[in-house]
Amino acid sequence: MTFNSDPYYYHTYVEFNLVTETPKAYLLDIKGTSVWIPKKICKGFTGSSAYIHEEIFNKNMKQAKQKNYGQYENFKKPTVFKDIPIHFDAKQLKLLISLCHPDKHKNSENANLITKLLLEKRKK
């Protein structure tokens, strides 16, 4: 058995958007998935890329995808929109519906709610 002296041997290169950090971990957005990564398993951290311990990274990514952690996870349900008068012309409503359509947001509850509200405004 030989010893590999490469300090990055068990690490994989990852590009991401840094969402926030705590004294012990980073919250990274990797292709739409938010995942917590401990600082002590990162090497060569630049703020937009790093070498991350491969086994732990894969485990954390798998858990994040299973729990459906995403960029909209803490979005509050916009129930107050029913009481707010929305005045858009037909062209603007069509554009808004296309932007928030559930097909573009993994069929999320929030996208369905907003699309439904906009469709109701279009009928009036």
Model pLDDT for residues 71-97, shown as the tens digit of each residue: 444 555 555 455 556 677 888 888 888
CA–CA separation, 102 and 66 (whole Å): 20
Which pTM does this prediction carry?
0.51
- Taking the C-alpha atoms of residue 38 and residue 17, their distance in angstroms, rounded to an integer, is 15
Residues 95-109, mean pLDDT to the nearest whole number: 84
**Count of CB atoms within 10 A of residue 53's CB?**
19
What secondary structure does DSSP assign to 82-115, as a single string? GGS-----HHHHHHHHHHH-GGGTTT-HHHHHHH
Alpha helices in the chain (DSSP H): 54-66, 90-100, 109-123
